[in-house]
Amino acid sequence: MKYRRLGKTDWNVSAVSMGCWGIGGQWGEVTERAATEAIRAAREGGVNLFDTSDSYGMGRSEELVGEVLGSRPDDVYIATKVGNWGRRLDDHFPYNSVYSIYESCHASLHRLKTDVIDLYQCHINSPDNPEIFLEAFETLKQQGKIRHYGVSTDHADVVKAFNVGGDCSLCQVNYSIFVREPEKELLPYCRENDIGVLVRSPLAMGVLTGKFDTGTTFDDQVRRGWNKGDAHKNFVKRVELSRKLGALANADRTLGDIALQFILANPAVTCPIPGMKNPDQARTNIRAADGELAEEDLRMIDKICPPETTT
């Protein structure tokens, strides 16, 4: 496993880290054994950053992470998020005061079985009140309940709002071969301001693994909307592009490796955080950290999926 400096935290984190949304059960049923074995397999493979959220499975993901990593060593980092509790159940918790964020943080600390959260992030893509989150985060930091804070967003102006005092340590962004918009402003801003970047959906929610075809249907909570309408048309387009990208794969690298190594090629990125629902997925994703794409590979990717086109 290779390691990279995470912005102004000065921590060295695994070049491929673990996204823990999947183990919360919203991407299909996951047994407790599979989830905990996935975390252990990732750790054994050198992963030292685990990203979760209080909203993933309504706290279930945090509980599983806490079960395995609650008494972690100093060089293993847990990132979690606040702001989306109950959203997928149409029962959204209000975040209109610092006290709601304090309460959420205390609940996360309990589920994670820890006294301090290493990285705490606002989970609202475009919050109406970033100042409330900033006030809460600064207080929680002074109290020793969080070490660093940031925001999960796809908008450069939101990152700037959270970095108004220069203390935003990380941004989590949707970025992949299919989603190149962050290259225009968000990623350059993060690089210029020493803000670490965690990349979510680097495999385009599984499409860039090459395991789907145009007839695949979904029944999980996150992707079931892909089965019809414009979402299905976009899914079919992505599958067809994945087939073309598959020409770059060979005996030594899969399409998934290529997708993750594409992310790692951007100098603004700290690490992708692909989902890992079982130990086999963990081991498969981790190996991408050991390779890198040549300039010719990157040119071919640009030819198949031009940077100005987002699907």
Q: Which residues are catalytic?
A: 56
Helix (H) or strand (E) holding 50, with range, is strand 49-51
CA distance 91 to 42: 33
Identify the CA nearest to 38 among candidates 65, 12, 62: 65
Q: How many C-beta atoms lie closer than 10 Å to residue 165's C-beta?
A: 8
In the numeric block, the tokens 């935290």 are attached to: 9
DSSP code per residue over 260-273:
HHHHHTSTT--EE-
Confirm if 150 and 196 have CB atoms less than 8 A apart: yes
The encoded tokens of residue 47 equal: 């992963």
Helix (H) or strand (E) holding 298, with range, is helix 295-304
**Angle at CA of residue 273, ends 85 and 235, nearest 5°:** 80
